[in-house]
Amino acid sequence: MHQEIWAHKTCDNAQTLKTGLAVIEGIYGRDGDGFGVGNDHLTNLVMFGKDKLRLDMIGMYLGGHEPGNVNLFRIAKERGLLDTFNPHEVEVYEWEDGKAVRRRLTDFQRTALPTYYLQRDGEPKYHLVNERFDYDRIKS
């Protein structure tokens, strides 16, 4: 229930705020709680895009998580804010020699960034939300 309420509030914000360019500065990724507890990982990523939800979905995937397990992206699709919640259906590019070159998502290295969000019974406090998700079976 908590995740669903949070997802709807986030979608309300995404729908209201018109972002020109969203940026994830990920030169260093941080696991843990993002502040006092955790470790820094050199990821050397700077990501940007016009669609903040798609960008967040790609960032989550590259952080070792499976976006299909997070209600935010499914709810955003149901509300018409996304056309997919499958990160492999999002076009990604790499800036190379002054040009944007189309890449597959799997061309980029993933860095496992355990978090305390969405902890299940029996899981360690800091874990990955990386359970396999069948995107073909669940379509909204």
Is 128 in a helix, a strand, or coil? coil
Query: pLDDT tens for residues 6-52?
Result: 999 999 999 999 999 999 999 999 999 988 899 999 999 999 999 99
Query: pLDDT tens for residues 115-137?
Result: 998 888 899 999 999 999 999 88
Residue 140, pLDDT above cutoff 80: no
8 A C-beta contact, residue 31 and residue 113: yes
Q: Where are the beta strands (DSSP E) in the chain?
A: 22-30, 40-49, 92-96, 99-103
pLDDT at 39: 94
Query: pLDDT tens for residues 62-114?
Result: 999 999 999 999 999 999 999 999 999 999 999 999 999 999 999 999 999 99
Report phi then psi at 9, rounded to 5.
-65, -40
8 A C-beta contact, residue 128 and residue 65: yes
pLDDT at 117: 87
CA distance 35 to 105: 28
